[in-house]
Amino acid sequence: MALVVAGQDTLGTAGTFDVTFPYDSTVVATVGAASAAQMNSAIAGAAAAAGPLSAAAPFERADVLRAVAEAIERDAVDLAAGVTLETGKPITEAEVEVRRAATTMRLAAEEATRIGGTVEPIDAVAGGEGRWAEARWFPLGPVAAITPFNSPLNLVAHKIGAAIAAGNPIIVKPAPATPLSALSLGRLTVASLDDHRLPAAAVSVLPCGDDVADRLVTDRRIKTFQFTGSTGVGWQLASRAVLTSKRLLLELGGNGATIVHRDADVAHAAARCSIGGFLLAGQVCASVQRILVHRDVADTFLSALVGQVRTHVLGDPRDRRTTLGPMINAAAASRAERWVADAVAAGAELLVGGPVRGTLFPATVLTGTDTTMQVACEEVFAPVVTVERYDDFDEAIAEADRPGSGLQVGLFTSDLTLVRRLYSAAHVGSVIVNDVNSWRVDPMPFGGWGTSGYGREGLRREIRQQMDERLLVQTIPPRPATSGAVPTRGDQS
């Protein structure tokens, strides 16, 4: 399959790699890998396209993105099938992702026309008299985005949509396991740029090795570096990207928690946790991993949760009855299986679970865990949740706010005082009330504190973080002196 290099379909020249269906490991596509020369061509194309794209009127960039949204909807069946084949995501979840990607592009189009600016009251102080000032936002220049496997269409839509809306070219390096959706979206965007007579070289999608991708970190022509993925890799790349004066946007996930207080609607909380912990087999950056339940309702909650979790259907993600598909590969499943086994050996109780078959990992619920166990203190990134009891709400806050949990926290309660206490204390990007910590819609600011990230996704924030503010100060010339003569009637309007 061809790459998208500066708006052109081009065969990769650094070898090929297979994209496999996680359910049965069959090869669904063979994709070329970009070479160092092709990466340089992409960066050069992006640098050349930066001027014309930034000069395009906001409505023109918005028109490009609306057309991409329409193309996504037109190709929705094929795109959803492709998402399922490369990720193993159940087809019903893949269809949701396609709809979200179209919405993301429309949101980006709307935000493109709202960038605007402000009038600054500089004459509010002595020395500012006789001057006007306005501040406007201008695109920084080419963006590099490295994206993960778990949302191969919508997360790429966020990156491409925000960049085009801001007036910035973009180069996307998709996860090697899931490049197909990114390549499809890249081609749809290139076609729309061509149709609207804007530079197609503004978009490149380059599956490639880490050595080639390193240019995205080190090349000074790249002005913004975005990374969605694991904490260790993200911060390592960021530490090098800042050396070339890049703007950083990092979304790095974490070990997320949801609190169920004693006044919660327990049945609703259990139903939501049974979904939030197992979407895409738990391979979601904000997945429900740790559930903290007040002791007064813990037994009732556990009974409801276990009953809900047992209804998950594990199997072929192309089957509409399947609610839990495979993990991305056997190595990931084996690692998570080992973590669960280690926890059980150390005293944790397995309430729901079973043997792992290749990439098929049954929905798993543990209790009796502690912070010495990897399933409790690290991001498991698998269909595994732990449930632990608490007595005091401050105890629950402290547990939910452990290092590495800085993305989102969920809280089920009707007590607004508790909501405010958690909101004031938790070092997280979002507090989600009466829903799980994995809840998200695409317009909202989304990102983490501390090791969980830097900056925010969500179209308005993404666009603004790829731009910089520039102030214009204009001195108003004094009025010319007049003779003081009174105008005649003919001079008056």
- Residue 440 domain-assigned (yes or no): no
The Cα diameter of the chain in Å comes to 102
Two structure tokens written together for 130 = 């006789």
- Residue 42 domain-assigned (yes or no): yes
CATH number for position 456: 3.40.605.10
C-alpha to C-alpha distance for 234 and 216, rounded to whole angstroms: 13
Q: What is the 3-state secondary structure (H, E, C) of 213-235?
A: HHHHHHCCCCCEEEEECCHHHHH
Q: Are residues 245 and 318 in the same domain?
A: no
- The pTM for the full model equals 0.94
Single-letter amino acid, residue 335:
R
- Residue 271 domain-assigned (yes or no): yes
E strands within 252-327? Answer: 257-260, 290-294
- Residue 283 domain-assigned (yes or no): yes
Model pLDDT, residue 480: 77
C-alpha to C-alpha distance for 29 and 207, rounded to whole angstroms: 13
Q: Are residues 29 and 60 in the same domain?
A: yes
C-alpha to C-alpha distance for 405 and 380, rounded to whole angstroms: 12
Asked if 89 and 83 count as a contact pair (C-beta separation under 8 A), the reply is yes
Q: Are residues 230 and 264 in the same domain?
A: no
Please give the helix or strand (H or E) that residue 386 lies within, else none.
Answer: strand 384-390
- Residue 227 domain-assigned (yes or no): yes
Pairing of strands 8-10, 290-294: unpaired
Q: Are residues 231 and 272 in the same domain?
A: no
CA atoms within 13 A on the CB side of 472: 10
Q: Are residues 322 and 240 in the same domain?
A: no
- Residue 14 domain-assigned (yes or no): yes
Model pLDDT, residue 403: 83
Length of the chain: 493
Asked if 302 and 260 count as a contact pair (C-beta separation under 8 A), the reply is no
Two structure tokens written together for 454 = 């830097």
Nearest CA to 226 among 139, 154, 145, 125?
Answer: 145
| Cβ count near 63 (within 10 Å) | 18
Tell me the sheet residues that pair with 259: 292, 411
Q: Are residues 43 and 27 in the same domain?
A: yes
CATH number for position 340: 3.40.309.10
Q: Catalytic site residues?
A: 251, 285
Model pLDDT, residue 479: 81
Nearest CA to 337 among 322, 324, 318, 350?
Answer: 350
Nearest CA to 154 among 122, 124, 184?
Answer: 184
Q: Are residues 279 and 411 in the same domain?
A: yes
- Residue 378 domain-assigned (yes or no): yes
- Tens place of pLDDT for every residue, the chain, 493 residues? 899 999 999 999 999 999 999 999 999 999 999 999 999 999 999 999 999 999 999 999 999 999 999 999 999 999 999 999 999 999 999 999 999 999 999 999 999 999 999 999 999 999 999 999 999 999 999 999 999 999 999 999 999 999 999 999 999 999 999 999 999 999 999 999 999 999 999 999 999 999 999 999 999 999 999 999 988 899 999 999 999 999 999 999 889 899 999 999 999 999 999 999 999 999 999 999 999 999 999 999 999 999 999 999 999 999 999 999 999 999 999 999 999 999 999 999 999 999 999 999 999 999 999 999 999 999 999 999 999 999 999 999 999 998 888 899 999 999 999 999 999 999 999 999 999 999 999 999 999 999 999 999 999 999 999 999 999 999 998 887 765 555 555 544 4
CA atoms within 13 A on the CB side of 428: 30
Q: Considering its fold, how many domains does the chain have in total?
A: 2
Single-letter amino acid, residue 290:
R
Nearest CA to 379 among 233, 484, 271, 269?
Answer: 233
Please report where in the chains the tokens 């449930």 appear, as a residue. Answer: 387
Single-letter amino acid, residue 199:
P
C-alpha to C-alpha distance for 317 and 330, rounded to whole angstroms: 16
Q: Are residues 134 and 279 in the same domain?
A: no
Domain containing residue 362: 257-433
Q: Are residues 310 and 374 in the same domain?
A: yes
Model pLDDT, residue 213: 96
Q: Are residues 171 and 277 in the same domain?
A: no
DSSP state of 33: P
- Residue 118 domain-assigned (yes or no): yes
Helix axis angle for 154-166 and 58-74, nearest 10°, is: 160
Nearest CA to 371 among 404, 334, 394, 393?
Answer: 404
Nearest CA to 213 among 232, 187, 233?
Answer: 233
Q: Are residues 242 and 261 in the same domain?
A: no
CA atoms within 13 A on the CB side of 152: 30
Q: Are residues 131 and 159 in the same domain?
A: yes
Model pLDDT, residue 78: 98
